Amino acid sequence: MATNWFNKTVDETVSTLKTDMEKGLSTEEVKKRQEESGFNELKAKKKKSLFIKFLEQFKDFMIIILIISAIISGVVGIAEGEGITDTIIILIVVIVNAIIGVIQEAKAEKSLEALQKLSSHVAKVMRNEKIEVVASRELVPGDIVVLDTGDYVPADLRIIEAVNLKSQESSLTGESVPVEKNIELIEDEKVGIGDRTNMLFSSSLITYGRGKGIVVETGMNTEVGKIATIINDTEAGATPLQIKLNKLGKTLGIAALAICIVIFIIGIAYGKDIIDMFMTAVSLAVAAIPEGLAAVSTIVLAIGVQRMVKKNAIVKKLPAVETLGSATVICSDKTGTLTQNKMTVEKVFCDGTIVNLEDAKEMIDIKELVYASMLCNDTKISDDKKLTGDPTETALVDMAFKMDYDKSVYDKLPRVSEIPFDSDRKLMTTVHEDDGRYVVYTKGGVDELLAICNSYILEGDIKDDLDEYKEIIRKYNSEMAGNALRVLAMAYKVLDHKPTDEEMKTIEGGLTFVGMVRND
């Protein structure tokens, strides 16, 4: 019976898996556990040989009818001295149809294998009393995994340490918003995956914060592994086109057989030779079989597949194209299932007005807004500018890149202190050194930010009449949020010294309001 790890405390989990949170497992223990539980990887169905795939192309009833008609046509042709030309043509059509099907299936499998290779990751794990980087497939139950923003979760983990930890689990739950994680015990035994806040699941992404977890399930025992098991055990059903062609094949087969019997009986009744009547009846039956139908349907489907390929779609079976064309309604669960789970800044409020992003470059105070968006932000940026993190935060950095700002901003103003985002405060604050002075940037909800501001910047000048300006801010905030879109506000202040730990407790005050952005 599966263990509900979310119902266990951290100490109970450590004791059950016989591990050490500080030292991790030894190399010898890892090898022993790998022999018991196997590698941490999903098992696919055993691949069929090329010959088996080729034979499977002949399973359709229409193809079987064509083969039978080809054989009969050959027998009739030889008997009447007309040769086997028709037989050869029919068999060529059938074989070409099978070859095209096998080639398409092989192409799709190669594409899927390439995607699987892209999804193979490494993990930071505590081994032999130190942190090592190992392939995810080598993890075993009891391993202590260290996670930071941007890391993929390599197995199902019971969280033992969480610092502002958030995980993107849309691949399992369909929920686009990252889930806040903690180490607290969950007592409800029937809680759903989306509410297991003390667990991290294989294939999900850490979008915020950092943490540690104990590997509790690997490979096919993980939640994503259970999905893979269901997929592997699912029997492939016939597509609408295959059903129709099979029905047509049966109808033609019965009709051909009926023709044979009727013509044969009539001929015998008129005193014709039995052999001659048999050959005549068979000839008429063969003529009733549309041998060109398989070729035409295959060519049409192949053209459809090529069009789908140009749209970056992977089609494994030719008839699947027609199946998609037969769909009238597609039901999908929540944002993040159909979309890329990304957000984009569309509107910017600065200098007392709201503009589209492409027009924001000309605004006088846009630099402070962009700096606040980039620096008060935990997005990870790779060398090729790939952004990893919370979708709301990655949208802010992407906005800066679109406005020709680059990664040099982070070197110019390094972070020296911070107050992480908190869902109760709805604010995040960072402190950055800037040539001997220190700049405090804060971002968050509009109302929460206005409550800690006492001034605002307008066309380069800092003004104190914030109470009057608040009405303008709230007006544009209502306009920007009117379509249920996310609005974030930015503020800053400059200090002549690095704030102490005591000062950081009250750093969020006396700020200058800069502007707002709207994420779509």
Which listed residue (333, 406, 422, 464) is catalytic?
A: 333
CA nearest neighbour of 75 among 90, 60, 54, 61:
90
When computed from its CA atoms, the radius of gyration of the chain, rounded to whole angstroms, is 33
Encode 248-272 in three state secondary structure.
HHHHHHHHHHHHHHHHHHHHHHCCC
CA nearest neighbour of 289 among 261, 248, 319:
248
Encode 425-474 in three state secondary structure.
CCEEEEEEEECCEEEEEEEECHHHHHCCEEEEEECCEEECCHHHHHHHHH
Tell me, yes or no, if 424 is annotated catalytic. Answer: no
| Other beta carbons less than 10 A from residue 243's beta carbon | 12
Token digits of residue 443: 């971002």
**What b/e string do you get for 113-126 counting C-beta neighbours within 10 Å, with b at 16 or more?**
eeeeeeeeeebbbb
User: Which residues face 350 on adjacent strands?
Assistant: 353, 515
Report the alpha-carbon distance of residue 125 to residue 141 in Å, rounded: 12
In the DSSP assignment, the letter for residue 183 is -
Q: What are phi and psi of 143, to 5 degrees?
A: -65, 145
Report the alpha-carbon distance of residue 443 to residue 520 in Å, rounded: 17
Q: Please work out, in degrees rounded to the nearest 5, the angle formed at the alpha carbon of residue 65 by the alpha carbons of 59 and 69.
A: 140
Q: Identify the residue whose tokens are 């022999």.
A: 35
Q: Identify the residue whose tokens are 């079987």.
A: 64
| Cα atoms in the 13 Å half-sphere on the side-chain side of 499 | 23
CA nearest neighbour of 179 among 211, 204, 216, 144:
204
Active site residues: 333
